[in-house]
Amino acid sequence: MIQKKTFDFLSALKENNHRDWFQAHKDTYQEAHENMIDFAAELYAAMQKHDHLVDSNGKKALHRIYRDIRFSKDKTPYKKNLSGSFKRATAALRGGYYFHIEPGNCFIGGGFWGPNSGDLKQIRAHIDAEPERLREVLEAQDFIQYFGKLEGEQLKTAPKGYERDHAAIDLLRYLLFLLYKRFSYK
């Protein structure tokens, strides 16, 4: 469980995003970080019951709180969230999961972010072979109620090798395949 003091730290960091404040509150950050390690470890164990994930632990799953500001106009040094991810375990099982903890913006997401051309070709071949199967899942009321609709960047036209009037062109145009479940900490 994510503790209230983790959210309190993130709220304070958002208002005081500079090195001096962070250094003065490093102990509070360490507590929040330890809380996130425990959360990630529990989430990993629960997800491993339903999927095959790359061997991980809570600490390995977490992303750094430090921002890369080299090419950014925003020079705040720290992210205003704590996050992490899990990768699926085999070449046949690609994609992964992401969790994002931020006051007012918490979610768990899954899918395929940035597939390479080979992966995208394979995904489209599966969609082309059985579009009804995917539609049945994506259009189920329980699925929509829980995850919403499939999201992700799309091509404006038909992908190479597919006709514009293909029955599943709306699914074939996706470049990213993402689903989210938002939640609050209260």
The C-alpha atoms of residue 60 and residue 85 are separated, in whole angstroms, by: 9
Global pTM reads 0.86
Q: What is the pLDDT of residue 90?
A: 74
**Can you tell me the mean pLDDT for 81-89?**
93
For the ranges 25-39, 71-85, 109-123, which has the lowest average pLDDT? 109-123
Q: What is the pLDDT of residue 58?
A: 85
Q: Which residues pair with 92 in a beta bridge?
A: none
How much is the pLDDT for 114?
85
Structure tokens at 101: 């903890």
pLDDT of residue 27: 98
pLDDT value at 157 more than 70: yes
Average pLDDT over residues 89-117: 89
The overall average pLDDT reported for the chain is 93
Amino acid at 142: D
Cα within 13 Å of Cα(2), Cβ side: 25
Please state, in angstroms and rounded to a whole number, the distance separating the CA atoms of residues 57 and 59: 6
Span 87-106, average pLDDT: 88
Question: Which residue in 96, 95, 84, 102 sits closest to 183, CA to CA?
Answer: 102
